[in-house]
Amino acid sequence: MPEGDTVFLTANRLRAALAGKELTRSDFRVPRYATVDLRGQAVESVGSYGKHLFIRTPTVSVHTHLKMEGSWRVFHCGQRWTKPRVAARVVLSTEDVEAVGFSLGTVEVVRVGDEDRIVGHLGPDLLGPNWDAAEAVRRLERYPGQPIGVALLDQRNLAGIGNIYRSEVCFLRRVHPDTRVGDVPDLLALVNEAHRVLAEAVDKPPRRPLAYGRTHRPCQRCGTPLQADLLGDTAPDHDRVVQRERGIYFCPHCQPVPAT
- List residues near Zn ion by CB under 5 A: 219, 221-222, 224, 251, 253-254
Asked about 25 being catalytic, the answer comes back as: no
CB of 146 to Zn ion, least distance (A): 25
CB of 196 to Zn ion, least distance (A): 20
Asked about 204 being catalytic, the answer comes back as: no
CB of 218 to Zn ion, least distance (A): 8
Of 21, 29, 51, 142, the active-site residue reads: 51
Q: How far is CA 122 from CA 129, 164, 246, 247, in A?
A: 15, 20, 22, 24
Choose between 121 and 221: whose C-beta lies nearer to Zn ion: 221
Choose between 150 and 210: whose C-beta lies nearer to Zn ion: 210
Of 2, 124, 147, 177, the active-site residue reads: 2
Q: What distance lies between CA 247 and its chain's CA centroid?
A: 17
CB of 209 to Zn ion, least distance (A): 14
Asked about 141 being catalytic, the answer comes back as: no
Of 3, 98, 108, 168, the active-site residue reads: 3
Question: What's the residue count for the chain?
Answer: 260
Which three-class secondary structure state does DSSP give residue 193?
A: helix
Asked about 236 being catalytic, the answer comes back as: no
Asked if 213 contacts 219 with a C-beta cutoff of 8 angstroms, the reply is no
* Whole-number CA gyration radius for the chain: 20
Print burial letters for 165-180: b (CB count within 10 Å at least 16), e (below 16): bbbbbbbbbebbbbbb
Looking at the annotation, which residues are catalytic? 2-3, 51, 246
